[in-house]
Structure 1
Amino acid sequence: MAEGLHAEAVLVETDRGAAVVGPVDLRVPDGGVLAVMGPSGSGKTSAVLAVLDALPPGLVRRDGRVRWRGAPVPAGRAARRWRRAATGVLGQDPASDLHPLRPVCALVAEALPGGLRRANAGAVRAVLTSLGLDADALWRRRPHELSGGQAQRVALARAVVADPGVLVLDEPTSGLDPATVELVLDVLEQRRGRPGRVTVVVTHDRGFADRVADLRLDIGGPEPVRGAASTTVGPRSPGGAPVLGLREVRLTAPGGRELLGGVDLAVGPGEAVAVLGPSGCGKSTLLRSLAGLHPPAAGSFSLGGRPLPAGHTDRSREALRAVQLVPQDPAGTLNPAQRVATALARPAMVLRGLTRGRAAAEVPGLLERVGLPPDVGRALPARLSGGQRQRVAIARALAARPRVLLADEVSSALDAASARTVLDVLDALRAEEGLAVVMVTHDRHVADRMDRVLTLAPESRSLVPGP
């Protein structure tokens, strides 16, 4: 096969000269699909962005040569022109990359010459439909009106709609249900073997890589296992009063579409409940509602047998401390100007009343529990990988010492070892402190570790046992 994308000796450092990743050689033949793999924090994304000369501020490509179809791609302005003309990119945090004020139709069309013109509308509708989205229903919605999975597919549609020569997808299946993953595979399969088309997929999902990739590039060695030792927590029957209760709760999406109708649920101390369901059915909305960020249309919540106000502004400091949410998109909730140590100390100060010094003293232990080294505390979120940001978000929630943890796809950006570390920590907290966990996931391996598995069924708008 003819040469497609070829990069040699790519070396990434911080602007202060500290090594990040490399030197790395990356080669994708014409029509090929390359999977870039490695543990969380190994530099997978940085290496690929360096090839595109699209590193974020604070990182620089110190060395490396890039050729596209045999022609050199110089750094700087020439690389920017090449990216606009020849590449499509799905970032690791797609929801954060979507302009919050632009509707779906314009977001996807901006990758086409002329933007949202009538001549482009058909292509936009076709690519949305190919990814399992209802183009008519989503056409005028803005990013805040989309589920996490819908936002990810809209961002993917934007990346592929112009049929770019180089397609880069960073963790394209995180947070997607199995049926939607099949649609992503179909999109990639349509590019395979086509002249002038190469695809680079950054992923920690080895099963996905086995199905999609012609070639693999492994970056970094096995990640050191840090954190708590594994604690087995078997299925349990909630004892005493439920720590979290829902009674006749009805949830609606923006625009009034009903997601959940008249649901009752009780979660006992130390119990873990997995919530499954197709993308867009309302799983994340359920967690946001429990956290007081999306008041229900009807029904009530309780915490330890006492009424729990529906809105977070009406909750006491103790109630805010007791119910903590780890969102699906940690990049959108971590303050980009705030170092990790500050972000982790703040919940202990604000919600537990600790002094600044005592809160700061807990930060290294929190980082260690989720498998991160202490020096991560000095970093800004932009310097972290997606998996590292996800673990920081978990540590921030645990800093409040909650009674209930609402976890939205917390393992989706983690390699297998890191995911085990995080789940082991939660198991230990369930056993030792009675932490209750409600976890939204598409990962059956994660769901199998829970005490109960419920599915949010769009047809009945209810939570049903299994599968």
Structure 2
Amino acid sequence: MNTPAQPAVSAGPAPDTATARATATELEIRFPGGPVLLRPASLTVEAGRITALTGASGSGKTTLLRALLGHLPEGAAVTGGTLTVLGHDPMTLGPEELARLRRTRLAYVGQDPGSALNPRMKVRDLVAETAPGRPDRAAVLELLREVRLPADGGLPERRPTALSGGQQRRVALARALAREPDILLLDEPTAGLDEALREEMADLLRRLVAGHDLAIVMACHDPELVAACADHTVHLTAPTAPASGTTARRAGPEPTAPHENATCAEGLAARAVHVSYRHRGQTQQALTGVDFTARPGSRTAIVGPSGSGKTTLLRVLAGLHRADAAVLTLDGASLAYTARKRPSTHQRRIQLVPQNPLDALNPSRTVGAQLDRPLRLHTALGARARSVRTGELLQQVGLPADFTSRYPTELSGGQRQRVSIARALATGPDILLCDEITSALDPETATSVMDLLARLNGEQGMTLVLVSHELHLVTAYTDTVHLLDEGRLVAHGPTRELLPGG
């Protein structure tokens, strides 16, 4: 149901419009005749200042960033207000002028930075690619150090697929800085980073605006980052009221014991997992002898610093990354290394929600079509029953049923993540592998999604395996935890013993 339009709320000292690098005044964006993407919003962007865009998932934070870049979703249009970026209205520039502006004066790091990195290129070449001229190796390594990435140890020679999500994000930031922009646009800059790196990010952004004469605009769900480094905050409100189907709670439910049917079964297990990457004839270990167990009906977390191997382990369990060596079992039976060699029952029972929802969603197909496909493959439902079930799945994750007609590019990052979760739930899995699924969600929506998964765990005995840097969610929603560091399992046991403070 539509709610009355309200202006965006600003906080912090008022910026000086006379020295602004970008301004938006009562800017409204929507699909003509369709949904509103951004309610009327105003902001002023100045050099040496960080502007934070806050608000619930779907409130238009990413849309506003893309408007500043002159790159709205296909079919979307400015339907009210004005926008000026570095002396231009990006919506009226020709293709060549807009491309020149983006190449020389604007830089954007999206919510899914890994999807923008060429998987065939090495890190050092990815960073050098965007710089004016051809920077020498020393300049590239200095940029990597500036974003807190090691310049030695082989990382500059790796390809994106050999990096963690947090490392990919920092490589994308280094690429953006190499461009020497006037305005840096960041979409959820701390998503996928561990607590220590999130704290470093605030200091890094403050140093960047001072040392590079930058203006930074960031869309952010991280209130601690906003408080630590933002000079000015613009709070956006969602165009529609929250859909029914989930109820957010302030604290997570008490983790329960494994489901009563789990007493005689082993669940999902991995023994002595070894994964390595090769670069210039050298072998680098991503996982070394890691053991993992998730009993049926349990809620198990995998935590550790960025780059410790959490996502690699999850992809091994999902059959999406072949281990060099391992013993994988499901309820005591052998589990094939790769998903394509697993029987359909195993494929249905184990589902992955990836850190980047675009890894699971086809941008050329509607949300409804993408939820319908697993229902056709893994259930006996007829067309009408599948249509009803699709609407139910969307409502389960807090999205309106009429989202079935939308495409992924018409959704915010948080909305795409919830569609990705709904797609994984469509098969009725026994085991749900979740890779940083709350990193793109606002705190209320994150709690709502975790409440949903906890309810499915309690009512249906669905096993949850959660990779997360959000330790307060880990302690609230899991009963056991695996701690990884530098590709090794350093501890495994009850969550409240190993992470007592959250």
2:58 aligns with 41
Q: Find the aligned partners of 2:129 and 2:438 in 1 and give their Cα distance.
A: 31
1:177 aligns with 2:194: yes
The Cα RMSD (Å) is 2.3
The correspondence for 1:396, drawn from 403, 408, 423, is 423
Aligned with 1:106: secondary structure? helix
The correspondence for 1:297, drawn from 321, 324, 344, is 324
2:46 aligns with 29
1:393–1:443 CA distance, 2 compared to 1 (3 A) = same
Aligned with 2:148: secondary structure? coil
Q: 1:262 Cα deviation (Å)? A: 2.9
The correspondence for 2:352, drawn from 299, 308, 325, is 325
Q: Which stretch shows the higher mean deviation, 74-83 or 168-177?
A: 74-83
The correspondence for 1:346, drawn from 362, 366, 373, is 373
Given that 2:199 and 2:225 are in contact with CA atoms closer than 8 Å, whether structure 1 keeps it comes out as: no
1:456 aligns with 2:480: no
Q: 1:129 Cα deviation (Å)? A: 1.5
| Percent identical | 38
Given that 2:480 and 2:492 are in contact with CA atoms closer than 8 Å, whether structure 1 keeps it comes out as: no
Q: Find the aligned partners of 2:264 and 2:312 in 1 and give their Cα distance.
A: 28
The correspondence for 1:97, drawn from 99, 116, 130, is 116
1:372 aligns with 399
1:260–1:146 CA distance, 2 compared to 1 (3 A) = closer
1:133–1:102 CA distance, 2 compared to 1 (3 A) = same
Aligned with 2:390: secondary structure? helix
Q: 1:451 Cα deviation (Å)? A: 0.7
- Which letter maps to 1:84? R
1:302–1:353 CA distance, 2 compared to 1 (3 A) = farther
Aligned with 2:347: secondary structure? helix
1:239 aligns with 2:259: no
Given that 2:269 and 2:293 are in contact with CA atoms closer than 8 Å, whether structure 1 keeps it comes out as: yes
The correspondence for 2:221, drawn from 195, 204, 209, is 204
The correspondence for 1:166, drawn from 163, 183, 194, is 183
Q: C-alpha offsets along residues 267-303 of structure 1, whole Å, 9 cap, x if unaligned?
A: 2222101111111121111111111111222221221
Correspondence list, 1:177-326, <5 A:
177-193=194-210, 196-220=213-237, 224=242, 226-229=244-247, 232-236=253-257, 239-253=263-277, 256-326=283-353
- Which letter maps to 1:275? I
1:132–1:241 CA distance, 2 compared to 1 (3 A) = same
Q: Which stretch shows the higher mean deviation, 393-402 or 44-53?
A: 44-53
- Which letter maps to 1:227? G
Aligned with 2:157: secondary structure? coil
Q: 1:200 Cα deviation (Å)? A: 0.4
The correspondence for 1:445, drawn from 462, 472, 478, is 472
Q: C-alpha offsets along residues 72-116 of structure 1, whole Å, 9 cap, x if unaligned?
A: 4453234443332211111111111112332222221222112xx
Given that 1:301 and 1:309 are in contact with CA atoms closer than 8 Å, whether structure 2 keeps it comes out as: yes
1:58–1:21 CA distance, 2 compared to 1 (3 A) = same
Given that 2:243 and 2:400 are in contact with CA atoms closer than 8 Å, whether structure 1 keeps it comes out as: no
Given that 2:268 and 2:294 are in contact with CA atoms closer than 8 Å, whether structure 1 keeps it comes out as: yes
Q: Which stretch shows the higher mean deviation, 1-10 or 264-273?
A: 1-10
2:382 aligns with 355
The correspondence for 2:413, drawn from 377, 383, 386, is 386
Q: C-alpha offsets along residues 222-275 of structure 1, whole Å, 9 cap, x if unaligned?
A: 952633456834342563322212233333345542233333333222210111
Q: 1:394 Cα deviation (Å)? A: 0.6
Q: Find the aligned partners of 1:310 and 1:124 in 2 and give their Cα distance.
A: 37
Given that 1:247 and 1:264 are in contact with CA atoms closer than 8 Å, whether structure 2 keeps it comes out as: yes
The correspondence for 1:110, drawn from 129, 134, 146, is 129
Q: Find the aligned partners of 1:132 and 1:432 in 2 and give their Cα distance.
A: 43
Q: Find the aligned partners of 2:349 and 2:34 in 1 and give their Cα distance.
A: 43
Given that 1:11 and 1:61 are in contact with CA atoms closer than 8 Å, whether structure 2 keeps it comes out as: yes
The correspondence for 2:171, drawn from 154, 172, 175, is 154
Q: C-alpha offsets along residues 361-405 of structure 1, whole Å, 9 cap, x if unaligned?
A: 210110011001111111111111100111111111110111111
Q: Which stretch shows the higher mean deviation, 285-294 or 248-257?
A: 248-257
| TM-score normalised per structure 1 | 0.92
Q: C-alpha offsets along residues 394-419 of structure 1, whole Å, 9 cap, x if unaligned?
A: 11111011111100000000011111
Q: Which stretch shows the higher mean deviation, 11-20 or 25-34?
A: 11-20
Q: Find the aligned partners of 1:67 and 1:455 in 2 and give their Cα distance.
A: 48
Q: C-alpha offsets along residues 311-361 of structure 1, whole Å, 9 cap, x if unaligned?
A: 212211111000001111111321111111111111121123433333222
Q: Which stretch shows the higher mean deviation, 457-466 or 55-64?
A: 457-466
Q: Find the aligned partners of 1:109 and 1:63 in 2 and give their Cα distance.
A: 39
Q: Find the aligned partners of 1:19 and 1:413 in 2 and give their Cα distance.
A: 20
Q: 1:195 Cα deviation (Å)? A: 8.6
- Which letter maps to 1:456? L
- Which letter maps to 1:123? A
| TM-score normalised per structure 2 | 0.86
Q: Find the aligned partners of 2:109 and 2:85 in 1 and give their Cα distance.
A: 19
Q: Which stretch shows the higher mean deviation, 278-287 or 190-199?
A: 190-199
Given that 2:365 and 2:407 are in contact with CA atoms closer than 8 Å, whether structure 1 keeps it comes out as: yes
Q: Find the aligned partners of 2:212 and 2:113 in 1 and give their Cα distance.
A: 28
What are the ranges of 5 or more consecutive residues in structure 2 without an aligned counterpart?
A: 1-15
Q: 1:160 Cα deviation (Å)? A: 1.7
Q: How many residues align?
A: 463
What are the ranges of 5 or more consecutive residues in structure 1 without an aligned counterpart?
A: none
Q: Which stretch shows the higher mean deviation, 410-419 or 16-25?
A: 16-25
2:145 aligns with 129
Given that 2:39 and 2:237 are in contact with CA atoms closer than 8 Å, whether structure 1 keeps it comes out as: no
Q: Which stretch shows the higher mean deviation, 176-185 or 1-10?
A: 1-10
Given that 2:45 and 2:215 are in contact with CA atoms closer than 8 Å, whether structure 1 keeps it comes out as: yes
